[in-house]
């Protein structure tokens, strides 16, 4: 009994003391995300939704992404979302509907894609103190398997009124290697969980000339206005 009570007291103490460390790590991740404008990554995103009268629905998206500031980027999604966006610094190309339609436009704001833009919802929603922020603490350590190695990360959890966000952050190079956002609407009983996990990540990589080259689809595809 005494051991259990001591464990509870120690756990509570560790969590109370870990909040500043968690905020510091989030601040570092935010700064790194804002300043990393040349990067390449692969990731998998899985979303699950459940609620009254709704069977569990799940989507899986494989993402290949490259970005080079200020206005070059390439994002190719496969799986349940088959979309492509490429910016070559001058023009912006988007292909949707599984490749059945596309549009070509002048380079826009979506072409500026620092690492921070990949995190969704934005880290700003959690770093700026808010009245509904319930708790912020370090849970412990975990590992994410990347293509080149197994990477240790620190698990940071933010608990809000209707949402829990759990991020596994590389403490050396503060990339959010795994990001889990769980939302519950208590009014209607619907729940959603979105997990984004990096499979590989490089900052300041060497890009080939073809990385941001726009290729207009063959005949049979229909062009649309943005």
Please state the domain extents for the chain: 19-223
- pLDDT, one tens digit per residue, over 93-136 is 998 866 677 888 998 889 999 999 998 776 656 555 454 556 88
Give pLDDT, residue 57: 72
Give pLDDT, residue 224: 52
Give pLDDT, residue 7: 32
Give pLDDT, residue 114: 95
In this structure, the number of other CB atoms found within 10 A of the CB of residue 163 comes to: 18
Give pLDDT, residue 70: 93
Give pLDDT, residue 55: 73
Give pLDDT, residue 62: 97
**CA-to-CA separations, 166 to 104, 143, 155, 184, 203, in angstroms, rounded:** 37, 14, 7, 15, 23
Tokens 């003391």 belong to 17
Structure tokens at 68: 């080079």
Q: What are phi and psi of 59, to 5 degrees?
A: -125, 145
Structure tokens at 50: 């459940």
* pLDDT < 50 positions in the chain: 1-17, 129, 131, 220-221, 226
Give pLDDT, residue 9: 28
Give pLDDT, residue 220: 45
List the one residue out of 60, 31, 186, 192 whose CA is nearest residue 119. 31
Give pLDDT, residue 135: 85
The C-alpha angle with vertex 147 and arms to 145 and 151, in degrees rounded to 5, equals 40
Homologous superfamily in CATH for domain 19-223 = Lipoprotein localisation LolA/LolB/LppX (2.50.20.10)
Q: What are phi and psi of 80, to 5 degrees?
A: -75, -10
Give pLDDT, residue 88: 96
């Amino acid at each position: 009994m005494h051991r259990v009570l001591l464990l509870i007291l120690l756990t509570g103490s560790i969590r109370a003391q870990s909040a500043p460390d968690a905020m510091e790590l989030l601040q570092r991740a935010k700064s790194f995300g804002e300043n990393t404008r040349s990067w390449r990554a692969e990731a998998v995103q899985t979303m699950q939704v459940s609620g009254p009268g709704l069977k569990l629905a799940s989507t899986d998206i494989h993402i290949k992404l490259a970005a080079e500031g200020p206005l070059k980027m390439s994002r190719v999604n496969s799986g349940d979302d088959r979309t492509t966006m490429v910016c070559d610094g001058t023009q912006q190309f988007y292909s949707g509907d599984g490749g059945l339609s596309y549009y070509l436009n002048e380079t826009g704001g979506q072409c500026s894609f620092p690492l921070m833009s990949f995190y969704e919802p934005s880290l700003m929603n959690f770093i700026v103190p808010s009245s509904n922020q319930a708790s912020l603490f370090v849970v412990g350590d975990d590992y994410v398997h990347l293509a080149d190695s197994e990477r240790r990360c620190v698990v940071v959890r933010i608990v809000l009124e209707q949402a829990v966000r759990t991020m596994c952050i590389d403490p050396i190079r503060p990339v959010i290697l795994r990001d889990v956002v769980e939302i519950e609407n208590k009014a209607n009983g619907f729940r959603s969980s979105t997990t984004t996990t990096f499979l590989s990540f490089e900052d300041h990589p060497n890009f080939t000339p073809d990385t941001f080259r726009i290729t207009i689809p063959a005949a049979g595809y229909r062009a649309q206005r943005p």
